[in-house]
Amino acid sequence: MINQALQLLKSHNYKITKQRRTMLEYLSGFRENYVNVTKIDEHMRELFPGISHDTVYRNIREFAEIGILETKSRPNGTCVKYQCDFNQMHHHHFVCRKCGRVQEIKICPLDFQKQLPGCVIEDHRFELTGLCSECAGTERNFK
């Protein structure tokens, strides 16, 4: 389950430590939902009481930089989720506003190059929000 993430770490010359492996195992449970980084910090500090906040946050930042995690800023802090698809790193999401479930959108509907001639676009994010099919069905049943 975490083999692709471990390979990505190795290819970027990171050591595979017990703490990093444990963090990846925990994070791999968040493929369809975002988790606040403070929750990750709490989890890691329960398992490894001597681990510093700085170490946890640095690993989260490094995991995000190399594509293991996807990040999202929210009013209550930064949230992350485990990469949906290591074979297609560029993708977008639909996020249910009720249950928080994240669904991958594999196609990219954005083409800015025509509007920005001469510019070099390095990254963009596109996210749809609404109700997933399950939550939409539940809301219809209560109306």
Quick one: CATH architecture of 92-142?
2-Layer Sandwich (3.30)
List of E strands, the chain? 35-36, 69-74, 77-82, 92-96, 102-105, 127-130
Element (H, E) at 5: helix 3-11
Q: Would you state the structure tokens that stand for residue 80, as one six-digit string? A: 């992350």
Give every CB contact of residue 67 below 8 A, 6+ residues apart in sequence: 8, 83, 86, 89
- For CATH 3.30.1490.190, the residue range(s) in the chain are 92-142
Residue 79 confidence (pLDDT) above 60? yes
Give the model confidence (pLDDT) of 126-137 as tens digits: 777 888 888 887
Over residues 9-30, mean pLDDT: 95
What DSSP character marks residue 123?
A: -
Neighbours of 111 (CB within 10 A): 8
Note the pLDDT tens digit of each residue in 26-76: 999 998 889 999 999 999 999 999 999 999 999 999 999 988 998 888 878
CATH class for the domain made up of 3-82: mainly alpha
pLDDT tens, residue by residue, 82-100: 886 656 556 677 878 888 7
Q: Binding residue per annotation — 135? A: yes
What is the location of CATH 1.10.10.10 in the chain? Answer: 3-82
Q: Is the pLDDT of residue 142 over 90?
A: no
Rounded CA separation 71/118 (Å): 29
What per-residue confidence (pLDDT) applies to 74?
80
Q: 41 is written with which tokens?
A: 């910090």
Q: Is 108 annotated as a binding residue?
A: no
